[in-house]
Amino acid sequence: MRPLVGISCCQKPFGIFGTPNHAASDSYIRVVRGPVAGTPVLLPAAGEDLSAELLPHLDGLILTGSRSNVWPGYYDGPAHAEGTPEDRFRDDTTLPLIRAAIEHGVPLLAICRGMQELNVALGGSLDQRIQDLPGRMDHSTPSDQPIPKVRTGKAHAVRIGSDGALAQVITPAGRRAGRLAVNSLHNQGVQRLAPRLVAEAWAPDGTVEAVRVSGARSFALGVQWHPEYDWERDADSRAIFEAFGRACAAHRAARAALTGLAQAAE
């Protein structure tokens, strides 16, 4: 049986009545069924800590990107500018889930907003609008651009640390180059790096673009870009998901072995 991979949902209004729905992009479903070689499980933005109920059944966790921003009260930041989308229901579910997943060694891949959640969950803080800061690039992408260009177009390069976890999972060509070309669809970014996180990649303006969890028992990586949009064409994007998938498979095998031992002892 394939590993069960949890995918974090957002709570969004749908339909003419704006009914709250729990949603994740199809791109995450397809990448879990593809290079991750897992079975996707959508995790609701329930607004409460579900980690004790969910984690015993999961072999991996993907923290998805989203238009919404992490609520600044979780990192003692200033209030968002008027009109900034937030999702407190998601925050209240994912932040404790992140800490529990790391504690229990469940493989974790955090993407865009997910990486920002990872930083906040472990005690870091965020810049809310990088494009407004002196000397920084505009890392957001206008929503009126054609979708293929927004999602798969390479906005800038990131410099990859030579001895980090990311360097170990990308292709040999990417490792030799020491850099990757990535898309970019975010306003928030790391301000103060959480104590347990180690920076793995940087944009030309110094923005942290990838992190790993120091001392993690399993795969625990965050990337600020969206590799789920171009894994079918980009070998390095695919390699990230394949490495995550191997960790999920190993976690499932370990869970099965423990279950077998417990059954044998009964």
Active site residues: 112, 226, 228
Read off the tokens for 221.
């990586």
Residue 39: strand pairing partners: 4
Tell me the C-alpha distance between 103 and 121, whole Å. 12
Strand intervals (E) in the chain: 4-8, 10-14, 19-23, 39-43, 60-63, 108-111, 126-127, 156-160, 179-182, 189-190, 197-202, 208-213, 220-223
Tell me the C-alpha distance between 237 and 226, whole Å. 8
195: nearest Cα among 209, 169, 215: 215
125: nearest Cα among 211, 206, 195, 190: 190
Helices (H), 206-266: 235-265
Read off the tokens for 20.
């709250």
Q: Residues 175-194, buried b or exposed e (16+ Cβ, 10 A)? A: beeebbebbbbbbbbbbebb
Tell me the C-alpha distance between 247 and 107, whole Å. 6
- Collect all residues with Cβ–Cβ distance below 8 Å to 175 and sequence separation of at least 6: 160, 162, 167
Phi, psi angle pair for 79, to nearest 5°: -60, 145
